[in-house]
Structure 1
Amino acid sequence: MYCSIYKSSKKDEMYLYVARPSEDQAEGFDPLLALPEPLRAAFGRVTFVMDLELHAERKLARVNVLHVMDSIQTQGFFLQMPPEGLIDPNAVAPEGLRGA
């Protein structure tokens, strides 16, 4: 399975995986059409990242490739959400930045 990956303009590290359009469908292709309307609004503008071949042996950094493939086949897309826990919103600011 070949897919195209796009990143969100509204949320860092949010990515949309969709089936890669064929050569004759590529012009004017809008990947956001695969998403339900509420997700389109939350995703924002798309920026192309890369095309990728997905198969059972392929390793992806943050998600299970079989889950991605199944989601694209059944829903038409896979939405990779940003990882949680990387930034603690309650952390104390570094000394030099307090009151800035």
Structure 2
Amino acid sequence: MHCFVYSSQRKPDTYLWLAARDEFGVIPESLSMLLGDLRYVLEVQLDEVRRLPHEDSRVVLEHLRTQGWHLQLPPQETLAVANQLQRSTPDDRDA
């Protein structure tokens, strides 16, 4: 399946995959508002055997076939580090 990937300008490391280029009407309005402006990143031919760095290609394909879009969130490691930094005090960061 041919698909198109967009990067959220509001949410770092968050990507929207679409089954049709620039077909933003298929995503829910609340998701559109959350992601903010999107920047076109990549066009890719995706099949079930293609390996993706942070996603299961079968899940991405299923979402694209059933709803026309797939949301790729940041890897858990990135979120864990960000949460840790938010909880630490300035003294903790200097140690």
State if a TM-score over 0.5 links the two structures.
Answer: yes
Q: Which residue of 2 aligns with 1:72?
A: 64
Structure 1: gaps spanning 5 or more residues: 22-29, 96-100
Tell me how large the CA RMSD over aligned residues is.
Answer: 1.5
Q: Tell me the matched-pair count.
A: 87
What per-residue deviation string (whole Å, max 9, x for no partner) do you get for residues 53-74 of structure 1? Answer: 1011100000100000000000
Q: Name which one, 1 or 2, has greater alpha-carbon Rg.
A: 1
Q: Which residue identity lines up with residue 45 of structure 2 in the other structure?
A: E
Distance in 2 of aligned mates of 1:6 and 1:31: 11
Q: Which residue identity lines up with residue 53 of structure 2 in the other structure?
A: A
Q: Which residue of 2 aligns with 1:11?
A: 11
Indicate the SS of the match to 2:32: helix
- Is the Cα–Cα contact under 8 Å of residues 7 and 15 in structure 1 kept in the other structure? yes
Q: TM-score, normalised by structure 2?
A: 0.82
What per-residue deviation string (whole Å, max 9, x for no partner) do you get for residues 36-90 of structure 1? Answer: 0100100100101010010111000001000000000001100001123422222
Change (3 A) 1:2 1:94: farther
- Is the Cα–Cα contact under 8 Å of residues 14 and 82 in structure 1 kept in the other structure? yes
What per-residue deviation string (whole Å, max 9, x for no partner) do you get for residues 4-27 of structure 1? Answer: 000001100100000134xxxxxx
Structure 2: gaps spanning 5 or more residues: none
Q: Which residue identity lines up with residue 78 of structure 1 in the other structure?
A: H
More helix by share: 2
- Is the Cα–Cα contact under 8 Å of residues 20 and 51 in structure 1 kept in the other structure? no
List aligned pairs for 1:58-97, cutoff 5 A: 58-86=50-78, 87=81, 88=84, 89-91=86-88, 92-94=92-94
- Is the Cα–Cα contact under 8 Å of residues 14 and 72 in structure 2 kept in the other structure? yes
